[in-house]
Structures are given as structure tokens and as C-alpha cells.
Amino acid sequence: MQNTDKIPSTRRNTAGNDAFVLSCLVAVCSFGIFTISRIDTPRSIETIIAASEMPAPAEQAETEVAVVAPDPVLDAPAPPVTAPVASRVITLPPPSRARARLPSAPGFITLLGDALNDAFFYRSDYSNPTGHYGGDWAHDNIGQSAEGTNLSVRRHVSRSGPYTGGEMKTRKTYGYGRYEVVMRPAKGSGLVSSFFTYTGAHDGTAHDEIDIEFLGLDTTRVHFNYYRNGRRGAAATFDLPFDAADEDHLYAFEWTADGITWFVDGEPYYKTVEGDAFVPKTPGSIVFNAWTGKPGMAGWHGKPTFESGASAHYSCVSFSPIGEESRACSDLFLPRRHHKTAAQTAQLSIQPSY
């Protein structure tokens, strides 16, 4: 009987080698499966595809230059956004009309106590034989002091009548904007003190005009008046809470395509109605004067009993074009405020058309 407890050594070695080989195969297979599973994951595949399709740096640069060119329309810079600017003007026209313009000289301010600029102002010195004025304009009736300019009315026989008056006007013409004057009218029956714009036949245009007027007969009232093509609009008279002849005050009117608003010491007093057909449309000279009329005017301004040499005083005149901020008389003159707006008391129905 064969003894099975004794196994030859060669057989034992073969069995050990088989076990080692089997272990190696298992290890190799496990490593292969692990490697294949890493390669087959979606993330790894996407990364490989992206890397394979990515152009070389030089090719990428050439593609950008050739394809990504600036478009003159799409790539144009956006327009700047401008914040609204507050305006110091009390009343503003609607935005659609605020842009309306008339030919106009630039804005200005003049302190009439300074040396008078003859290149800027014309000092009237001529006769008025056919007009409503009761005498000539005399250069000598224009006086100057440190406080301003005085325009006098004198009982002096002239070519046009028994009086002479004083007048100044700009050599240039002005359109839509704000007109301001600091003045003190002459006091005395028969006297008229004015600040206004004017253009007419002498300038080769229609008669257009906007007025601020004072009658020396009663300087506690102010008169507002306007014309277009020689036809007068709805003129009005207002009581003032002061006597205008006692001290300087600030008077103004604002003229736009929509109408006219008049101010006293910065407060609105009167405004034309919407669509008023008599609002002027022609640029004019700025004029200020002191005068008395022919005998037929006495029913309006009173019998001329004034003292010879009585004068109206003007210390500042300014113009600011519509929509622009420029230095004005109101920036310098600080009047005593009167918060009560006077009521309209009369229409100037007897005012002559001139």
C-alpha cells in the first residue's frame, strides 16, 4: 500500500508556483480594470476631446484677428447720460418748445454806473417830427454817476416839440430769453419811463415790442404791454405794494415761443394766455428811455406839469438767452421782497398804438 503522507518535493513546488502565478494574474486584471474604468468616465472623455480640438496658440490668435473685428454700429460707444441741470428761471416752457430759438446776440450784463460802452449802446440823438414823442432825443440828457445812468426829460424847445428826452438802446438785437433791469422811474405828471424790446420799419421788420412802463403821474403802478406786427396784445396795469420812484427795484420779463411772463422783484405778475397771437416773433433791440409825448398823449400819461430835468435812473441791464445760465442783474441786486402779488386793476385801453 502506497504512503500518501509523503509528497514529492517537485509536486509541492509546482503547486506553489501556480498560486503565485494566479495571484499575479489577479493583480494584473485588477489593475487593468481600474485603468479602463478611469479612462471610460465621462469627465475624462470630455477633457480629452476638448484638448484634441483646441487650436494651437498661434492658430487661435490668427482666428481672433480674422473673425472678431469691431462692428462700427454694434460696437459704437453708448451716448453719455447727462444729469438734468436745475434752472434758476421761475417759469419754464414745455420741453418741446424750450428748444425754440430766435436769432440773438449773446447774453450780457451791464452795470450802467461803469463807463458807457458806445460800441455796445447807441445814445439816441435825433428828432421825432412824426412820432408820438414830444421832442428830440438829446445826447446831453444822458447822465452818468457811480450809481448808474440817469435819463432826463427837459423843457427845452427842439425840432420835434417843446421838450427833449433821453434814450439808450443796444446796437445788437436779442431773441427769446430773460430781460432784467434795475431801475427807478421818473416822477411827475406827463413823464414816461420805459424798458422794452423793439424792432420796426427802421430795422426793415414788422413792429414787434415788449414793454415795462411807468407813468410819472402814478408810480405805484406798473404797465405791461406787447405788440406783434404793429397790433397790441392784452396789455395790463398792476398796482405795486410800493412807490417805484422811491428806490431801485428789479423788473423783468421772460420771452419764449410760448408767451411772455413779467416779474417784479423776482415774483411773477402777469403772463400771456396760451396761443396768444400777439406774442412777438422778431428779435429786437433793448431800449430804455424817459420822455413826454405830444399833446394828444396827455389823456394817457397826464398833463406835462413835471419839473424840467426830472430823470429815470437805471443801474443794471441784463439779457440771458433761453435755456442758458448767464450772469444777470438778479444775481447782484437783492430787493426787499414783497410777497403779495398785486391784482390787475385796469386794461390800458387808452394807450396809443405805437
Inside any domain, residue 20? yes
Inside any domain, residue 92? no
Task: Give the C-alpha separation, 198 to 112, whole Å.
Answer: 20
Pairing of strands 285-291, 310-321: unpaired
Q: Give the pLDDT of residue 203.
A: 87
Helices (H) and strands (E) in the chain, counts: 6, 18
Residue bearing cell 448767464: 326
148 and 199 part of one domain:
yes
Inside any domain, residue 314? yes
CA atoms within 13 A on the CB side of 310: 24
122 and 221 part of one domain:
yes
Inside any domain, residue 286? yes
Inside any domain, residue 229? yes
Mean pLDDT for each consecutive 10-residue tract of the chain (354 residues)? 39 44 44 39 33 38 37 38 33 47 91 78 92 95 92 96 97 97 98 97 92 98 97 97 97 97 97 97 97 96 97 97 91 67 46 45
47 and 118 part of one domain:
no
What is the set of active-site residues? 209, 213
Inside any domain, residue 88? no
177 and 48 part of one domain:
no
Task: Give the C-alpha separation, 152 to 138, whole Å.
Answer: 9
49 and 196 part of one domain:
no
Q: Which CATH number goes with the domain that contains 301?
A: 2.60.120.200
61 and 130 part of one domain:
no
Domains held by the chain: number: 2
169 and 275 part of one domain:
yes
Inside any domain, residue 38? yes
Last residue of a domain, one of 41, 67, 93: 67
Last residue of a domain, one of 25, 50, 67: 67
| Residues contacting residue 71 through CB under 8 Å, at least 6 positions apart | none
Give strand pairing partners of 158. Answer: 161
Give the containing element (helix H, strand E) for 256. strand 249-256
For residue 155, give the C-alpha cell: 423843457
Task: Give the C-alpha separation, 3 to 150, whole Å.
Answer: 157
Inside any domain, residue 246? yes
152 and 34 part of one domain:
no
24 and 143 part of one domain:
no
54 and 106 part of one domain:
no
**pTM for the model:** 0.70
Domain boundaries, position 35? 12-67
19 and 112 part of one domain:
no
Instruction: From 289, 259, 339, select the one nearest 181 (Cα to Cα).
Output: 289
337 and 211 part of one domain:
yes
